[in-house]
Amino acid sequence: MPARKPAPVDPRRSPGRRAGGVLRVTSPGGHAGWTPWLYLAPALVVLGGLLVYPIYQLGLISVLQYTQAQVSGGEPTTFEGFGNYATLFGDDQFWQVLLATLVFAAACVVSTLAVGCALAVLLTRVRAVPRLALMLAALGAWATPAVTGSTVWLLLFDPDFGPVDRVLGLGDHSWTYGRFSAFALVLLEVVWCSFPFVMVTVYAGIRAVPAEVLEAAALDGASQWRIWRSVLAPMLRPILVVVTIQSVIWDFKVFTQIYVMTNGGGIAGQNLVLNVYAYQKAFAASQYSLGSAIGVVMLVILLAVTLVYLRLLRRQGEEL
């Protein structure tokens, strides 16, 4: 007697539905389970308190007339709409500072990635003791507070007592007097305290690459640069995406290094970046609404850059 075939299962009554090839666990009522959201709820609450609410307050103040008079209660707070943004966009200094910020941040990101990736490859080529020494030195630079690191760099490049001018034979050259030399000095300090994150992250990714792949490329006669460009970089692209986005965010909103090393933005504001410019508007000039508007503009720019970068990667077929 032939065995009876099992009755077909009605997908509408099955506890798991397959949509697009992915099994979805549903409740008996047919709705998606709430269990994942229950696990995520504590993190979402913390993020809501630490991220969403401050952004809401930032956007709110940016559309109000909010100066020291309103803070002290001498005048009522009034709604300005986009008036603060119109004032900001009509200021020539804002566009100059924005351009300087974009160029400076791009230079910092490229330099940090280049130094971090180069040292990560170097770590795979040296022995254990030099590798440990380099790792400890890099982590020491990374752990140094920004104020302390900026002060040390100022002492190193001091025109009167700094050893750098003496070694280079520059006499009493002041690195912070000129606009481009001051930006270059700050860039060196930013790269110095930022490259360890890139180095450690990329080094961990390289160690996860199968040794057979690298050996095969070397046997085919590929140089170290060709191995990096054609083998390692494509395999490490997800990691490079993370460190690039992190570097863009960090370097675009640099504050401490510029403020300490150029004494608040340089001579006549020649070394201002958006973060320091917002600080001056909000706290030095007590124009809190303009400072908040600058913060909103920075947030929009960072979101736009990140989304465009991720979109370009998706067009190239990279899964993130």
Angle made by CA atoms 70, 301, 44, in degrees to the nearest 5: 75
Q: Is the pLDDT of residue 42 over 50?
A: yes
pLDDT band at 152 (very low <50, low <70, confident <90, very high): very high
- The pLDDT of 114-122, averaged and rounded, is 93
Q: Is the pLDDT of residue 32 over 80?
A: no
Give the C-alpha separation, 6 to 140, whole Å.
Answer: 66
| Sign, Cα dihedral of 282, 288, 289, 294 | positive
Mean pLDDT of the chain: 85
User: Which tokens hold the place of 214?
Assistant: 């690298």
Q: Element (H or E) spanning 65, and its range? A: strand 64-65
155 contacts: CB under 8 Å, gap ≥ 6: 161, 162
**Closest C-alpha to 118, from 144, 141, 138:** 138
pLDDT band at 6 (very low <50, low <70, confident <90, very high): low
Give the C-alpha separation, 95 to 88, whole Å.
Answer: 9
- The pLDDT of 295-310, averaged and rounded, is 89
- The pLDDT of 109-124, averaged and rounded, is 93
Least confident piece of the model among 45-54, 288-297, 311-320: 311-320
Residue with tokens 């503009």: 297
Q: Element (H or E) spanning 64, and its range? A: strand 64-65
User: Which tokens hold the place of 28?
Assistant: 């008996």
pTM summary value: 0.81
User: Which tokens hold the place of 181?
Assistant: 């030399």
- The pLDDT of 43-67, averaged and rounded, is 88
Give the C-alpha separation, 199 to 115, whole Å.
Answer: 8
- The pLDDT of 43-68, averaged and rounded, is 88
Q: Is the pLDDT of residue 145 over 80?
A: yes
Q: What is the DSSP string of 78-129?
A: EE-TTHHHHHHHT-HHHHHHHHHHHHHHHHHHHHHHHHHHHHHHHHTTS-HH
